[in-house]
């Protein structure tokens, strides 16, 4: 092959790769083509591991080895028939739901305040909201231990100094410390979607309400709040999913004995090495979480039916 | 309700938008605010509605000083430039909003809502959401939403912009009848002069945050307070000169009686001028060449270029048998009625 032929051949070889159907599909702007890399990532790192996890819940695993032909539903049956399991599941749920609700109550005023500020103050507030996300959640959990913990912890020192309590109070290793930690750590995930929806709102619509005789409070509940439901749904779904499935916070702030479903999964898989029981609880945790998120989204859809209405 | 706006000042940061703006509107009167974009029309309406608190001056409605009263206690209905309908409520609940805020009893509420929806002929659309309506329909919802409360004062900010010419005209007539029947004091912002002239009892011309002139529609046209108003309402030739001994010469041999001495400007409407073709230009008459012709059917507009002076606009009626003058034709310009030309002091520049 002479030099000219080689030069001619090289680009055509390159074009050959560029014209591979997979590459063309990825570059086309229609269909699932452009999503192929992301889909591949999800299949390898999510679908396959989840399927494995799910299948472990039906098999007996003995010292890290799957016992062949051991398929059975009894692992699920024994978990669902266990009173203790339901008590723990209920605790997971109400801790997650309550901290989500408190997050919503705390986040809404912050997000609303954001929309009333000038551009410099907005940037500062945004930094303040996002900054905690730059440190590890673990570090923040330890910080809460220092603040809440012990007779000489920051919290008790302040309360005693101010004379608000007579004896040191116990907050660490109770429901309270878990709720406080979860709320603080997940608050940004509630604030950000709310800011997004509130910033984009049309203030003239609120002016119309004022003009029609509604005061500021009434205008908020009749106009601003209903129109921000999409942000509430996004934040609520996000924070609930995070809180419901978190295991670090209950474990560290609840003391060693504070068990939620997520903590149990961790203990079965990492400490006790009973993968089957761990997989059963993980499957139930993820499945129920999915159902709850769907319920939140569905409730949001019902509350925002008007967004579906289009010129017909 | 009588509305009195007394030397309002309103600034946004360093820009002073309203500068001592004063305007009085009688009970049941319809007044139009006219003015170029950015002159402060919306800002003035918002001060009256209570969305802006002016730094100086007062807003008095029905004898009460309302300057500091919040918008929801003013009984002033406003129709917004963007309609600002509630997207999450259907037409009926949009219209019902103000009544429900006022806790009006169910039966009366339904009756009044039905009536308001009927007035704006939206009968079949009561269950639609705003996103399912056309621009004109949305606008009628905005009107019904305010009228259902029977406000004493109504403010409209360019409400007919989204409508086609025919619907626009119909809505103008409808609106005027409605507010006249209900005796609602109405302030109406528009860019459209013919809208201003047909719709209103009086026209207020705004300029840079001040009211330049308030007068009956034909009044602002016939006796403008300044060349600015003359130029803004209709079209005008503003011919400047030096007035001496009660006379202002606007062209060789053409003089106007003037009460102004010294620098003056004559407002000559194009329809007050006449052109006749002549052989050649002379120095002792008002002559020029046709520089531009716009034949519009019933009328023809000419622009006559006069050597050493501003070009003059001439509007001539035209019948099919009339010849339209050619470009470049030498013409003599003359006044039909010298008394119909206001002479104003030259603007200080
Ligand atoms: N909220 C605001 N902040 C800063 N500047 C403003 C604000 N509202 C209005 N302005 C400025 O005030 C001036 C007058 O605005 P306004 O909206 O009253 O004009 P307008 O006469 O209604 O104009 P248009 O005919 O275009 O609606 C404009 O220069 C505008 O940029
Ligand atoms: Mg405006």
pLDDT over 80 (residue A64): no
**Inter-chain CB proximity A202 and B84 less than 8 Å:** yes
Chain B positions touching A210 (Cβ under 8 A) are 50-51, 70-72
Rg over CA atoms, chain B: 25
Does residue A127 sit within a domain?
yes
* Residue A250 CA to its chain's centroid (Å): 15
pLDDT at A238: 96
**pLDDT, greater one: A211 or B162:** A211
Dihedral of CA atoms B117, B122, B125, B129 in degrees, nearest 10, equals -70
What are B141-153's pLDDT values in tens digits? Answer: 999 999 999 999 9
Q: Ligand 2 centroid vs B187 CA: distance in angstroms?
A: 13
Asked if B136 contacts B163 with a C-beta cutoff of 8 angstroms, the reply is: yes
Is B3-227 assigned to CATH 3.40.50.300? yes
Q: Is the CB of B67 under 6 A from ligand 1?
A: no
For chain A, give the percent of residues with pLDDT over 90: 57
Asked if A299 contacts A234 with a C-beta cutoff of 8 angstroms, the reply is: no
Asked if B132 contacts B91 with a C-beta cutoff of 8 angstroms, the reply is: no
Domain map (residue ranges) of chain B: 3-227, 235-345
Does residue A54 sit within a domain?
no
CATH number at residue A152: 1.10.3720.10
What are A246-301's pLDDT values in tens digits? Answer: 999 999 999 888 999 999 999 998 898 888 899 999 999 999 999 999 999 999 98
pLDDT confidence bin for B109, thresholds 50/70/90: very high
Q: Is the CB of B139 under 6 A from ligand 1?
A: no
Q: What is the 3-state secondary structure (H, E, C) of A243-282?
A: HHHCCHHHHHHCCCCCCCHHHHHHHHHHHCCCHHHHHHHH
pLDDT at B303: 92
Q: Is the CB of B39 under 6 A from ligand 1?
A: yes
- Pairing mode of beta strands B202-207, B30-34: parallel
pTM of the complete model: 0.82
Chain A positions touching B70 (Cβ under 8 A) are 210, 215
Q: CA-to-CA distance for B287 and B307, rounded, in angstroms?
A: 8
Domain count for chain A: 1
The closest of B91, B62, B96 to B76, measured between CA atoms, is B62
Q: CA-to-CA distance for B115 and B98, rounded, in angstroms?
A: 15
Is B235-345 assigned to CATH 2.60.200.20? no
Burial level of A85, CB count in 10 A (0-12/13-18/19+)? middle
pLDDT over 90 (residue B163): no
pLDDT confidence bin for A308, thresholds 50/70/90: low
Does residue A33 sit within a domain?
no
pLDDT confidence bin for A53, thresholds 50/70/90: confident
Does residue A35 sit within a domain?
no
Chain A: closest CA distance from residue B88 (Å): 5
- CB burial string B184-218: b at 16+ within 10 A, e below: bbbbbbbebbebbbebbbbbbbbbebbbbbbbebe
pLDDT confidence bin for A14, thresholds 50/70/90: low
What are A101-160's pLDDT values in tens digits? Answer: 999 999 999 999 999 999 999 999 999 999 999 988 899 999 999 888 877 788 888 888
Q: What is the 3-state secondary structure (H, E, C) of chain B?
A: CCEEEEEEEEEECCEEEEEEEEEEECCCCEEEEECCCCCCHHHHHHHHHCCCCCCEEEEEECCEECCCCCHHHCCEEEECCCCCCCCCCCHHHHHHHHHHHCCCCHHHHHHHHHHHHHHCCCHHHCCCCHHHCCHHHHHHHHHHHHHCCCCCEEEEECCCCCCCHHHHHHHHHHHHHHHHHHCCEEEEEECCHHHHHHHCCEEEEEECCEEEEEECHHHHHHCCCCHHHHHHCCCCEEEEEEEECCEEEEECCEEEECCCCEEEEEEECHHHEEEEECCCCCCCCCEEEEEEEEECCCEEEEEEECCCCCCEEEEEECCCCCCCCCCCCEEEEEECCHHHCCEEECCCC
ipTM more than 0.85?
A: no
Dihedral of CA atoms A184, A185, A187, A192 in degrees, nearest 10, equals 150
pLDDT over 90 (residue B169): no
Asked if B100 contacts B92 with a C-beta cutoff of 8 angstroms, the reply is: no
For chain B, give the percent of residues with pLDDT over 90: 46
pLDDT at B323: 81
pLDDT confidence bin for A311, thresholds 50/70/90: very low
Asked if A306 contacts B93 with a C-beta cutoff of 8 angstroms, the reply is: no
pLDDT confidence bin for B227, thresholds 50/70/90: confident
Does residue A36 sit within a domain?
no
pLDDT confidence bin for B311, thresholds 50/70/90: confident
Chain A: closest CA distance from residue B340 (Å): 45
pLDDT over 70 (residue A10): no
The sign of the dihedral angle between the CA atoms of B115, B118, B123, B125 is negative
Q: Output the CA–CA distances (angstroms, integers) from residue B253 to B269, B282, B330, in the order listed.
A: 19, 12, 18
Chain A positions touching B51 (Cβ under 8 A) are 207, 210
For B63-86, what is the mean pLDDT?
Answer: 92
pLDDT over 80 (residue B140): yes
What are B272-288's pLDDT values in tens digits? Answer: 998 888 888 777 788 88
Which residue out of B43, B155, B190 has the highest number of ligand 1 atoms within 8 Å of its CB and is therefore the one to mutate? B43
Asked if B160 contacts B138 with a C-beta cutoff of 8 angstroms, the reply is: no
What are phi and psi for residue B293, nearest 5 degrees? -130, 130
Does residue A123 sit within a domain?
yes
Give the count of beta carbons closer than 10 Å to the beta carbon of residue A77: 11
The closest of B165, B129, B123, B166 to B144, measured between CA atoms, is B123
Residue A286 domain boundaries? 73-311
What are B3-17's pLDDT values in tens digits? Answer: 999 989 999 989 999
Residue with tokens 């007919």: B160
Q: Look up residue B93 and give its two tokens.
A: 């609940």
Q: Is the CB of B42 under 6 A from ligand 1?
A: yes
pLDDT at A267: 92
Q: Output the CA–CA distances (angstroms, integers) from residue A228 to A64, A223, B14, B21, in the order listed.
A: 49, 9, 34, 38
The least confident of A137-151, B289-303, B335-349 is B335-349
**Inter-chain CB proximity A304 and B88 less than 8 Å:** yes
pLDDT at A23: 77
Q: How far apart are the first and last CA of chain B?
A: 39
Dihedral of CA atoms B340, B345, B347, B348 in degrees, nearest 10, equals 180
Asked if B3 contacts B172 with a C-beta cutoff of 8 angstroms, the reply is: no
Q: Output the CA–CA distances (angstroms, integers) from residue B259 to B240, B254, B314, B342, B343, in the order listed.
A: 14, 16, 25, 10, 7
The least confident of A19-28, A54-63, B311-320 is A19-28
Q: CA-to-CA distance for A145 and A140, rounded, in angstroms?
A: 9
- Average pLDDT value for chain A: 88
Chain A positions touching B88 (Cβ under 8 A) are 223, 226-227, 304, 306
What are B29-48's pLDDT values in tens digits? Answer: 999 999 888 899 999 999 99
What are phi and psi for residue B104, nearest 5 degrees? -70, 145
pLDDT confidence bin for A8, thresholds 50/70/90: very low
């Amino acid at each position: 092959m002479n030099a000219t032929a080689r030069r001619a051949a090289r680009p055509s070889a390159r074009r050959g790769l560029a014209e591979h159907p997979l590459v063309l599909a990825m570059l086309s702007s229609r269909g699932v083509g452009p999503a192929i890399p992301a889909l591949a990532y999800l299949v390898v790192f999510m679908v396959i591991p989840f399927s494995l996890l799910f299948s472990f819940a039906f098999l007996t695993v003995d010292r890290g080895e799957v016992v062949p032909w051991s398929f059975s539903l009894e692992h699920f049956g024994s978990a669902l028939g266990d009173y203790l399991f339901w008590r723990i599941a209920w605790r997971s749920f109400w801790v997650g739901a309550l901290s989500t609700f408190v997050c919503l109550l705390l986040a809404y005023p912050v997000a609303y305040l954001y929309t009333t500020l000038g551009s410099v103050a907005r940037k500062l507030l945004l930094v303040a909201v996002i900054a905690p996300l730059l440190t590890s959640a673990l570090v923040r959990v330890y910080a809460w231990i220092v603040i809440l913990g012990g007779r000489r912890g920051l919290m008790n020192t302040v309360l005693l100094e101010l004379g608000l309590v007579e004896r040191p109070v116990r907050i660490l290793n109770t429901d309270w410390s878990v709720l406080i930690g979860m709320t603080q750590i997940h608050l940004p995930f509630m604030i950000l979607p709310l800011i997004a929806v509130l910033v984009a709102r049309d203030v003239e619509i609120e002016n119309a309400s004022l003009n029609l005789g509604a005061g500021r409070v009434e205008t908020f509940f009749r106009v601003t709040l209903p129109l921000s439901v999409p942000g509430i749904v996004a934040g609520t779904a996000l924070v609930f999913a995070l809180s419901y499935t978190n295991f670090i916070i209950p474990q560290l702030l609840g003391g060693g004995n504070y068990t939620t479903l997520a903590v149990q999964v961790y203990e079965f898989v990492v400490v006790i090495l009973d993968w089957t029981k761990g997989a059963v609880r993980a499957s139930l945790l993820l499945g129920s979480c999915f159902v709850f998120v769907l319920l939140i989204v569905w409730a949001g859809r019902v509350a925002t039916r008007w967004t579906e209405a289009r010129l017909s | 309700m009588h509305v009195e706006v007394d030397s309002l000042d309103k600034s946004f940061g360093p820009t002073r938008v309203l500068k001592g703006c004063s305007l009085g509107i009688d009970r049941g009167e319809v007044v139009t605010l006219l003015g170029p974009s950015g002159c402060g029309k919306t800002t003035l309406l918002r001060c009256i509605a209570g969305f802006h608190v002016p730094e100086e001056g007062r807003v008095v409605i029905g004898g009460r000083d309302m300057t500091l009263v919040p918008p929801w206690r003013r009984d002033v209905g406003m129709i917004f430039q963007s309609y600002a309908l509630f997207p999450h409520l259907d037409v009926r609940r949009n219209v019902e909003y103000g009544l429900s805020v006022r806790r009006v009893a169910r039966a009366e509420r339904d009756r009044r809502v039905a009536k308001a929806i009927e007035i704006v002929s939206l009968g079949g659309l009561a269950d639609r959401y705003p996103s399912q309506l056309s621009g004109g329909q949305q606008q009628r919802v905005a009107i019904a939403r305010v009228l259902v409360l029977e406000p004493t004062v109504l403010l409209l900010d360019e409400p007919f912009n989204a409508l086609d010419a025919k619907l626009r005209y119909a809505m103008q007539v409808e609106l005027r009848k409605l507010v006249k029947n209900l005796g609602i004091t109405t302030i109406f912002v528009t860019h459209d002069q013919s809208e201003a002239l047909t719709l209103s009892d009086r026209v207020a011309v705004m300029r840079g945050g001040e009211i330049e002139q308030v007068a009956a529609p034909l009044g602002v046209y016939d006796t403008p307070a300044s060349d600015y108003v003359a130029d803004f309402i209709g079209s005008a030739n503003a011919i400047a000169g030096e007035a001496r001994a009660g006379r202002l010469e606007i062209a060789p041999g053409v003089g106007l009686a003037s009460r102004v001495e010294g620098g003056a400007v004559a407002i000559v409407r194009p329809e007050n001028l006449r052109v006749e073709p002549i052989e050649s230009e002379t120095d002792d008459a008002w002559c020029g060449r046709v520089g531009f012709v716009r034949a519009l059917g019933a009328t023809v507009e000419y622009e006559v270029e006069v050597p050493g002076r501003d070009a003059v606009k001439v509007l001539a009626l035209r019948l099919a048998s009339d010849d339209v003058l050619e470009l470049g034709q030498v013409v003599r310009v003359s006044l039909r009625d010298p008394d119909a030309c206001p002479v104003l002091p030259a603007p200080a520049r």
